[in-house]
Structure formats: C-alpha cells, structure tokens
Amino acid sequence: MKAANLLRATALGLLLATPARAAHAQTEVGAQLDLFSAYVWRGVTYTNKPVAQPDVYVSFPAGNVSITAGGWANIEIGSYDDPNDDFSESGGLSAFNIAEFNPYGEVSFSTGKAALAGGIIGYIFPNDLDEAPNGGLDSESNTWEVYGIVGFDVPLAPEFSLYYDFDKVKGAYVEGAISHSVPLGESHTLDLGGLVGLSLGQGIAEDDPSFNFEDDGLTHVDFSAGVPLTAGVFSITPVVHFQINGDEITKFHSPGSDGSDVKLWGGVSIGWSNAVEEEEGEE
C-alpha cells in the first residue's frame, strides 16, 4: 500500500524549490522503480522477500496549483509458497505476480515557506486467493483513502501527513517526518530521514473486521539513510531503513517469527523524469 513518498518528492519538493509564481509552467512526466528486500508499508511487513515497485506519473500546472496523477504497483519477484516462513501479499500464487495496484491523484500548491497537498489513493488487490497457499489480500480488501500533507522549507524540513480510509478500514493514520542532507564531498550527499507513525482508528475493533494495526497509538519509528546518485538521465538512490516497532502487527517480519522490536530493510530506487516548459501568457 503506497505511502505517497513519490507524491511528496514530485509535488511538495518541487513546490518548495520554486517560486509560487514561476515565469514558466512545467508539465512533468516521470517513472520510478524501487527494488527492495521486503515490502514494508507504514511499518507493517506485507512481503518478506524481494519486490519490484514501479510507479509512473504525470504532473501538470493548473493556475497556481499542480495536479499529479499516476499509478503504483507491488510485484512479488520470487516464489512465496512456504506458509511458515513467507509473508505474501498475493498469496504466493506465482513469481512476478502483481499483488497490488494503487491509482492516485493529488493537488498541491505552495505559499511562502509551506507546501500543501491533498489527494486520493486506491488500494486494489487483483488476485483470486481461493487456492492461495499462504493467505494474502484479494478484492475483499480493496479500499480508498484521502490524505493531506503539509511540508515546510525550514531546517530539518518537517512534514506532517494525515491519511483517512473512508471505505474499508474507516480510520486515520498520522505521520510526522523530518529530513536532513549531509554533504559528502563536492557532489554527493547523505540524506537522513526519520518519521513517526500513529494509528487513529485503524486498530482492531469488535464492530469492524477491517484493520491495518492491532491497536491505536504508536505504530513505528523509522530511520532512513540514502545516497542519491546520477547515471545519465537516471537518479539512483541506495537506501536502508532501521525501524523501531510499536504495534504488535509491525513487529512481525515472517509468519514464523515471534515478533521483534526492530526491523531492518532496504534497497535501491531508480528514477527518471522529464519536464516540458510552457511559456505563460503575459498578464
């Protein structure tokens, strides 16, 4: 389930880096491929073997706002057929299986040193799990979520996000994050990040069978480190995540584990984007 990290990079990051009334409007088309050792969403491990996560999007100006639309997917690369050791979002049906698809749309704008965004994300699980060897998610878990994000162009770049599932889970998730770049020589940086997640109504309830966490309250604390690199037109960012688990569901990293207070995972993100400048008419 996508946490809208790419949306923050393509919308909030660009808005904070450019004046509110630029001389040129830009339409941007981009793609990103994440290759990770596991699929961890908001601290919860959904797939504990390597995954490929492609994302494509287009962002275009509309007056003083930017509109972004795109689609993201989680693809399980290998075989996930051991119910004792494997978490599989697709149910372990086959290798290179599309386990999840997230269409999304966002509207964002900047004002002063703040950038704001709001949007909607769909969570679509296309697999039929009648014969799945180890569970997973199917269309019964399909749901939709709206969200709002605000970021500030100040030291540590604080950012606050609120997501509300209005369909299946019917509860909120709140996230606060900071980030900082440390120079590595003249041309590279070490990008450090930290975030805290909170469940507000997405825990297990007697009158609602759908949930994302066991309890309300602290879900996890995540620390990340990455080194952005470039190779021609592509950006390549190796990243590692160290996670401190707060909810009982975030503590599990395989079906056979008895839970752990910490979790380590990582991978590499490969990105490409192309901006097309359009002259604005004179006032």
Tens-digit pLDDT profile for residues 170-218: 999 999 999 999 999 888 999 999 999 999 999 998 777 789 999 999 9
The tokens of 149 are what?
């994000």
- Judged against a pLDDT cut of 90, whether residue 99 lies above it is answered with yes
Q: What is the pLDDT of residue 127?
A: 87
**Best mean pLDDT range from 26-40, 125-139, 200-214, 265-279:** 26-40
CA distance 131 to 111: 52
Q: Which residue, among 107, 109, 104, has the nearest Cα to 118 in the 3D structure?
A: 107
For the domain 5-276, what is the CATH superfamily, name and number?
monomeric porin ompg (2.40.160.40)
What percent of the chain clears pLDDT 90, i.e. is strictly above it?
68
Q: pLDDT grade, residue 86 (50/70/90)?
A: confident
The tokens of 175 are what?
């996230």
User: Looking at per-residue confidence, does 126 or 14 come out higher?
Assistant: 126
Output the CA–CA distances (angstroms, integers) from residue 36 to 28, 53, 189, in the order listed: 26, 8, 21
Over residues 247-274, mean pLDDT: 91
Backbone angles phi, psi at 205, to 5 degrees: -130, 145
Contact at 8 Å (CB) between 65 and 40? Answer: no
Task: Give the amino acid at 9.
Answer: A
CA distance 247 to 53: 25
User: Looking at per-residue confidence, does 44 or 129 come out higher?
Assistant: 44
Q: Which residue, among 2, 12, 36, 14, has the nearest Cα to 273 in the 3D structure?
A: 14
Is residue 20 packed enough to be buried (19+ CB in 10 Å), middle (13-18) or exposed (0-12)? exposed
Lowest mean pLDDT among 53-57, 85-89, 239-243, 267-271: 85-89
Q: What is the pLDDT of residue 26?
A: 83
Q: What is the pLDDT of residue 176?
A: 98
pTM for the model stands at 0.89
Q: What is the pLDDT of residue 277?
A: 66
What percent of the chain clears pLDDT 70, i.e. is strictly above it?
86
Q: What is the pLDDT of residue 19?
A: 46
Pairing relation of β-strands 262-279 and 24-36? Answer: antiparallel
Contact at 8 Å (CB) between 150 and 160? Answer: yes
- Judged against a pLDDT cut of 90, whether residue 16 lies above it is answered with no
Q: pLDDT grade, residue 22 (50/70/90)?
A: very low
Contact at 8 Å (CB) between 247 and 215? Answer: yes
User: Looking at per-residue confidence, does 59 or 88 come out higher?
Assistant: 59
Q: How many CB atoms lie within 10 A of CB 56?
A: 16
Strand, coil or helix: what is 11? helix
Contact at 8 Å (CB) between 27 and 170? Answer: no
Over residues 103-108, mean pLDDT: 97
Q: How many CB atoms lie within 10 A of CB 63?
A: 8
